[in-house]
A and B are shown apart, each in its own frame.
Chain A
């Protein structure tokens, strides 16, 4: 499925949009980390929680559960929450 990558993570992917697989967000992040080592820990902490200023959207709807189901046709967006200054 397509995954949109926010600018803070493009030093890992070198692309705004990448392809990755997984039946859940957890699996998807594992696949992204296989392709782009180190990416997962920057957005998911060691207790498998989403980091405070990262958001995940599936087909435009915010996902709060890392175990939420995904289909190959879904579009996933990783977004940096407003946290400037």
Chain B
């Protein structure tokens, strides 16, 4: 059983910028930010005003942590998807907010292939999603190579979920290791409709977006309107590369998507995505990885643009980092960069590494591959670095705890 060592340090924001706090009711629940990195995990505990942060960690120093998520249904169970440079993938579970951890007794693993066939092996669990509020202790996991798994016991044991892991059609869409992202093709953006636990979405990089309304018995593809890299045929599911899909909590019929080829919105029951990224400034473009939606306003969403030209640098365009917000469902976008470096900052932010809290005003958080953690406590108007010198940040989640 791996041991998690940790230290606590209280830090003021790393920048000296003074931030005027808008008048609002003092929240009763405090924000906890979960940071998963290539070399371990950290927890950052906020004060009530989200101005001072207590850094707690590292947990699992040296382990590759792709995702760490707090169960919103009990407010104390943490799951961490882990592997190391040598050891195979596993899931660690804490039921006391990180004080103690236990390893899953049966981590996500593909079915054993029939004799003579080459079966797949999970390289790492990439994505964790708590199931519906009415399904306590149930979780979904997405893996690399792409696989979908479910646990019904709080992450202790995992089983393949639905038919897709071994379905010939899905396997063709998933492609090979060479068809995915540089560190392996990903199953991600596993979304549970808050109105219906049988209604799920997921995304595959590559392999498109898929939906079930019968708890995974049957699936329908949802890629109409999505563009693909020039020269490829959009009718080929395998070349669709959604980077991050988010459902609006305040309007579960609306989803936003950051794709390899642009930013999109869909309003169900329509089956067609609209490329709202065409309204972004041309010199910035609409390429990126994360997508963040407002917890209470379905017209508001944030993206973090990256350079998608020529050899796909995936760094802040022109070395000038920015977040863009839309307040009207993607008709117009506004640049938000107060507090960011004005030049020579070549940031990359991965698809799980940007998120929001649910406070008012909304707090935004993202982590760079250079190990900096930034936040805004006023919905992006002003940004502050709250931690730096961390390892490469893979995922950032915000939760609220008593």
Contact = CB atoms under 8 A, between A and B. Distances in A.
Given A8-B87, A83-B85, A46 B103 contact: no
Contact of A53 (B1, B86, B103, B110): B86
Contacts of B113: 47
Interface in B81-95: 84-88, 90
A8 B61 CA distance: 12
Given A47-B119, A83-B85, A84-B85, A38 B112 contact: no
A68 to B, nearest CB: 19
Contacts of A43: 87-88
A38 B105 contact: yes
A46 B87 contact: no
B86 A8 contact: yes
A62 to B, nearest CB: 16
Interface of A (DSSP majority class):
loop
Contact of B86 (A11, A48, A49, A83): A83
A80 B105 CA distance: 23
B107 interface: yes
B3 interface: yes
A41 B82 CA distance: 13
B65 to A, nearest CB: 15
A54 B105 contact: no
Interface string A45-71: 111110101100000000000000000
A37 B106 CA distance: 10
A8 B84 contact: yes
A45 B85 contact: no
A26 B3 CA distance: 27
Q: Which of B2, B87, B105, B109 has the most CB of A within 10 A?
A: B87
B88 A41 contact: yes
A9 interface: yes
Contacts of A12: 1
Contact of A42 (B90, B118, B119): B90
A41 B90 CA distance: 8
Contact of B87 (A37, A42, A49): A42
Interface string B249-276: 0000000000000000000000000000
Contact of B2 (A11, A53, A84): A11
Interface of A: 6, 8-9, 11-12, 37-38, 41-49, 51, 53-54, 80-81, 83-85
